[in-house]
Chain A
Amino acid sequence: MKREPAPTLRLHLSLTLLSAALIAFQLEQMQLLALVQWHHFAYLIISIALLGFGASGTFIAFCRPILLRHLEWLLPVLMFACSITMALTLTISQDISNRFDISLLFVEPGQAALLLLGQFIYLLVFFLGALPLGLVFISFSSRINSLYCANLVGSGIGGVSAVILMYFLLPQQLPALTALLPWAAGILVISRSRRWPVLGGGALTLAVIAAVVSYPPQIHPSQYKDISRTLDLPGAEIAANQPSPYGLVQLVTAPSLRYAPGLSLTYEGEVETVSAAVFTNGDWFGAVNNGEPSFLHSTAAALPYAMAKRDKVLVLQAGTGMDIIFALQNGAKMIMTVEPHQKAAAIAADLHGTSDGDPLHHPLVHHSSLSPRTWLALHQEQYDLITLPTVGSFGGASGLFALQEQYLLTREAFLELWHHLSPDGVLLVSTWLDSPTRNSLRLAATIGETLEEVGVDSHRHLAAVRGWNTISFILKRSPLTNNDIEQIRSLCKQLQFDPALLPGLQAQERVRYHAPADPRFFDNLDSLFSPAPRRELYSSYDFNLRPVSDNRPFFSQFLRWQGLPHLINLFGERALPFLELGYFIVLVSFGQMVVAAALLILLPLLRLGLPGRTGLQRWTIPFFSGLGLGYMFFEIMLIHKLILFFGHPIFAAAAGISSLLIFSGLGSLLSGRLLPHRLNHGLAAALVALLLLLYFFILPPLLHLAITLPTIWKILFFLLLIAPPAMAMGMPFPLGLERLAKHSKSQAAWAWGINGCVSVVSTGLAAIIAVELGFSAVMLIACVAYGVAAFSATFSPLSTRPGPTDHAGTMGEEI
């Protein structure tokens, strides 16, 4: 088979472009699905992408001869096909996304099928994109290092570029533009073989992209999202759209929109309509009031000001600025506000600017766009009042946010908050009351453990008041004075709130106006402020009430498996998913991915023969499984650690994925210089295992130390820190694949498939392990996985029997 040689540089560039597109497309879809549905699909998109890669490997294993025979024209055609599906995904899936709703997954029988159909459409894009990559890898196995490098570097560039583009373009515009990359990749590898039909395909692809760019599809968020429900109000309309990597910011106006959370039942005034509401990715961000709202004096926000004057106020996650307005109303002299979502805050500030007073541009108000934890780590000033946004959501979100990291509600966060309080300063944090009771008890547990750690008596420093739907905790740095207690009692009487925690409190005072659903609520609450009863409550309660930590920052995740039978008995099986929908969605999608990976990757490969019987080397399965699991676990762990470090999930995902891929690519390139001896891939895996073990101990403290650095230094520090393990992680796979391919190309297909399959499963599995055991466990398992890979590669005897399909022709190295 003599063919015209293709310029290697063009091929490398083509792979780089294709890889960049595939990662960019993943990030774009994560954001799009977060907008249309909920953020849980991030895990699913990664899994589907990996499934596409795995399935393509299996496909190659079966059709390798025919695919390689036509590789010259097939490569550009596959890239064009990937480009077309990428551009059209949103249009094709529009009908599905209009009918699919994650909230209905456990309600309507057809929803699971719609979910599968949607997954298939995404799978097609990644399958068509991965196919040319896999074909090139197999055809040029002796030059795999540089090709793998091009692939990983391209992926890294794709991640960064996607985030940059998200600043300027709306989510629905991005996929079609990204589709230009695989199109360009295809153009680069057009050869003489069937040149004109292929060029025709390229022209058609470009025409499709142009059509979708000119007429981008409309996106319709789920009818259960906050924005949809607001838009249902008469006269409601979207007044502004602002793209942002934090999520699409939308400003909605509606003549009948009112917002007065936590309002006392004694308030007799008018609750004015707000001038607009701000949403990010379709979720409520805040309301922008017409002028200064008068109702705030009739909420629990008034408590700290009733106790004493508050000169210096720190408002964390300030949203649209309700607490800022109230601080100004109460005569604060310096207000520091921290709101990482710059665009959403800016859109609210602009709107405030058109109304009287313009509180957000007031000279006493200072703004920071850092994440609250980053800001707390950077600054040491103390404040008379620190306010946090209300925890949870009114009525609950059916546990939809169970897997959302909330670093402002961890034990470590509360310790930092404590140290930022002035000697007489107070922290005000409220939570919506839920049933069965979870949020308020976990919050109380967090406060109780924090106070214990700093060595103060919670009974003298803590008060709590309860309205009909919220409970507010007031944590004071110095002991509460008689005057404080008197003021709290007086305001409670005036607003008809019940004190829940207060020095010298009588039992009957706790239920004067509002009787809780759970008659044991106060017993449970009290238990949380003494070590032994607290431990007893932790172990006996149906839900997990333990405070969350930076290692396991899922504040809204309460489900414990031991409590499940009791809860099913109480609420019935149909209601159960809605106790913690977010977690159940991850479990369901994990199950789907396990089945899909087995069906699309492993089952077809069984036709090639079982390991051991057909010459498949015994180290192949543990080695490539270990690499797949180890890599994904480390990546997921890294992204989560970076959320705290960089302050936002999308930056964390882009930085984590891109840096890991780029350095792995460099590592792959470097590994090409090593002797491709049997021990080398084992040694490379052992090196990774050792490095990960070292990083298990040093990564969290080093990231914590560097969190205070200026952004540019922070990025440089992170890159230096991540380079050694990431480079090492790029070595074992190409070394092992190269080693295997020399022995048998069919075994290389098995290796590719196993690695893909395990990677697919690992994404969801890492999330589940993080919830159950924390991210340290995820990191440790990654370390062990590489250890197993190293062990199997080093100590397995080398089989010399060829695989069954090795007689099949390959392209060799002629191109």
Chain B
Amino acid sequence: MAAEKRVTVQDNNSGRLFPCGLRTTGTLLLTILLCVTLAGVLPAAWAGDSNDFVKKRRQMVDRQIKGRGIVDQATLRAMVTVPRHLFVPDYLQRQAYMDGPLPIGHGQTISQPYIVAYMTEILHIKPQHRVLEIGTGSGYQAAVLAELTDQVYTMEIIPELADSAGKRLKRIGYSSVNVRQGDGYHGWPEGAPFDGIMVTAAAEFIPPPLLQQLGEGGRMIIPVGSPFYVQHLMLVEKKQGKITTRSLMLVRFVPFRRSP
């Protein structure tokens, strides 16, 4: 959506600011860039999204995400749009689009692109949905969710991560994301009920308040695994008050048994 926003803004601005088309192309572009940056619409760090990264991101989506069966167009668009390399430590930017998780400090990781896409697709998010994320980490997943709905709430218990993710999201242009530093156990009661809850930092138990804040028909997704290897995804659904779970494999099911 950030890309879409940028296009819209450029159209609007060019129509409004330069009706006569009197400037040279260079000046025009520079002025547009300046204006929209000042207006806080164009992500400030967008300049860091070089063609090389754009190309890598497209390749990532084609090979790692579409190639593994993700078909939801909104999810695919979000994955193409969000500049993942801006959510990883500088020294790992070159590896940002590789097929794996990366460390972001404090024992946390930015998930493998495919996991992010799979979890996003599974939540079946619609533009009017409210989504809660527990475990902001770098903010990447929240940015992807923000491409699908404007009502994203994300919580991070580690103060340093919450602070840096909040600033990063703002800097890149996702100022609509609500970031809060706090204990995810309590959820975000003021924002409830949620249509989707994503618990990116899974624990041995699902906090009862989160189950209570999950709206009727809502879906909660929990990746289960160690920092560098998500084993499976746990999908929790609430239908007519009854809670059921479904464990989803990350690979389209292939039996681990070689004969019948």
Contacts and interface: CB of A to CB of B under 8 A. Distances in A.
Given A396-B225, A542-B258, A232 B106 contact: yes
Given A395-B231, A518-B256, A574 B205 contact: no
Contacts of A265: 206, 211, 236, 243, 245
A542 B205 contact: no
Interface stretch (B69-77, B124-132, B246-254): B246-254
Interface in A511-526: 513-520, 524
B18 interface: no
Contact of A233 (B102, B158, B257): B158
B258 A262 contact: no
Interface string B187-227: 00000000000000011111110011000000000001111
A501 interface: no
A396 B208 CA distance: 23
Interface residues of B, number: 51
Interface string A516-548: 111110001000000000001100111100000
A96 to B, nearest CB: 17
A506 interface: no
Given A395-B202, A395-B225, A524-B257, A232 B236 contact: no
B247 A433 contact: yes
Nearest to B234: A468
Interface in A270-294: 270-271
B227 A263 contact: no
Interface in B89-114: 92, 98-103, 105-107
B256 A542 contact: yes
Contact of B107 (A229, A259, A520): A229
Nearest to B103: A104
B18 to A, nearest CB: 48
Nearest to B161: A232
A575 B229 contact: yes
B247 A570 contact: no
A395 B159 contact: no
B225 A543 contact: no
Given A396-B226, A468-B206, A520 B247 contact: no
Interface string A540-566: 111100000000000000000001001
A256 B257 contact: no
Nearest to B212: A268
A550 B179 CA distance: 52
Contacts of B4: none
Nearest to A514: B245
B168 to A, nearest CB: 18
Most A C-beta atoms less than 10 A away, residue of B181, B227, B248, B259: B227
B258 A540 contact: yes
A434 B205 contact: no
B202 to A, nearest CB: 6
A435 B100 contact: no
Contact of B226 (A397, A514, A536, A574): A397
Most B C-beta atoms less than 10 A away, residue of A228, A398, A571: A398
A394 B102 contact: no
A687 B158 CA distance: 63
A268 B208 contact: yes
Contact of B256 (A103, A266, A468, A541): A541
A436 interface: yes
A517 B248 contact: yes
Interface residues of A, number: 66
A108 interface: yes
Contacts of B254: 566, 570
Contact of B208 (A271, A433, A496, A513): A271
Contact of A578 (B102, B205, B229): B229
Nearest to A521: B247
A365 interface: no
Given A395-B226, A469-B204, A570-B251, A232 B243 contact: no
Contacts of A263: 204-206
Contact of A269 (B208, B250, B251): B208
A437 interface: yes
Given A517-B249, A519-B253, A398 B207 contact: no
Nearest to A104: B103
B249 A435 contact: yes
Interface in B176-190: 181, 183, 185
B246 A515 contact: yes
Contacts of B100: 107, 574-575
Contacts of A566: 254, 256, 258
A352 B112 CA distance: 42
Nearest to A542: B256
A398 B158 contact: no
B232 interface: yes
Interface in B144-184: 157-159, 181, 183
Interface string A85-124: 0000000000000000101101110000000000000000
Contacts of B251: 570-571
A797 interface: no
Contact of A223 (B107, B183, B244, B258): B107
A234 interface: yes
A66 to B, nearest CB: 45
Contacts of B181: 234
B16 to A, nearest CB: 46
A580 to B, nearest CB: 10
B106 A223 contact: yes
Interface string A497-516: 00000000000000001111
A260 B204 contact: yes
A566 B211 CA distance: 38
A436 B229 contact: no
A108 B245 contact: no
B206 A396 contact: no
A463 B64 CA distance: 41
A331 interface: no
A469 B223 CA distance: 12
Contacts of A229: 106-107
A469 B235 CA distance: 12
Contacts of B253: 517-519
B93 to A, nearest CB: 13
A572 interface: yes
Contacts of A223: 103, 105-107
Interface in A384-440: 394-398, 400, 433-437
Contacts of A225: 107
A436 B227 CA distance: 17
Contact of B103 (A107, A396, A520): A107
Given A229-B107, A232-B107, A575-B229, A395 B224 contact: yes
A519 B246 CA distance: 11
A579 interface: yes
Nearest to A579: B229
Contact of A394 (B98, B158, B204): B204
A250 to B, nearest CB: 16
Interface string B31-67: 0000000000000000000000000000000000000
A256 B256 contact: no
Most A C-beta atoms less than 10 A away, residue of B100, B203, B208: B208
Given A228-B107, A265-B245, A541 B231 contact: no
A267 interface: yes
Nearest to A260: B205
13 contacts: A107-B102, A223-B105, A229-B107, A258-B205, A394-B202, A394-B224, A436-B256, A469-B204, A517-B253, A541-B256, A541-B257, A542-B257, A570-B251
Closest 5 CB pairs of A and B: A578-B229, A435-B232, A517-B247, A263-B205, A261-B204
Interface of B: 92, 98-103, 105-107, 157-159, 181, 183, 185, 202-208, 211-212, 224-229, 231-232, 234, 236, 243-251, 253-259
Given A223-B105, A540-B257, 13 more contacts: A107-B100, A225-B107, A234-B181, A267-B208, A268-B212, A270-B208, A469-B234, A520-B257, A542-B257, A543-B256, A566-B258, A571-B251, A574-B98
